[in-house]
Amino acid sequence: MKRAALYTRVSTVDQHPETQLLDLRQMAAQRSYEIVQEYCDRISGVKAKRPGLDQMMADARRGRFDVALVWACDRIARSTRHLLEALDELNRIGVEFVSFRENLDTGGPLGRAIVVIIGAIAELERNLIVERVRAGMRRARLDGQRIGRAPLILDSAAIQQDRQRGQSIRQIARGHGVSTATIQRELRKHAPTTQEKVA
């Protein structure tokens, strides 16, 4: 009986990996795999550091399982290069890679070839999404729409008056709905210079 490790990843803490785990457990049972460990990450796909994946790869190097089951290729890899590196390492240490959604198994050469193609398409799709977002932002700017936070508008005269009345930086900040650092910057901007003080 082959020993299997299950790996799942969800993008945010609001999502749950149980759907992925249910499918992977059923697949392991159908193939008579013994599940020895389950790894999970709650993190964006583009993040380089993934504790669950890193631990799974470390355990694979120690020979703790024979097959790595994932729900989909994009769960394990952040790019085609990353996918290839993971597959190459698993192949070198004799661990098979099985993807539920794509129904892929690197136990054979065809499975490996398809995984590479799928990974390339997934990376292309992500790049296209990024480019569409950038194009949308450029279009919005051309149409005169503001991108990002609105500039902070402060009543400088009122801030100066509040300070002259003896209010603390914290009180002024609370009154104007801004941070204390913003108030300090504003007060420094209008502080009299040494020459002005002498005059």
Q: What pLDDT, on the 0 to 100 scale, is given for residue 47? A: 64
pTM for this model (two decimals): 0.56
pLDDT tens digit sequence for 52-63: 999 999 999 999
Instruction: Give the mean model confidence (pLDDT) for residues 188-198.
Output: 61
Q: Which residues are known to be catalytic?
A: 11
Residue 163, token pair as written in the block: 């300070």
State the number of CA atoms in the 13 A half-sphere of 30 facing the CB: 8
Model confidence at 105, in pLDDT bands (50, 70, 90)? confident
Say if residue 107's pLDDT is above 80: no
**Above 50 in pLDDT, residue 194?**
no
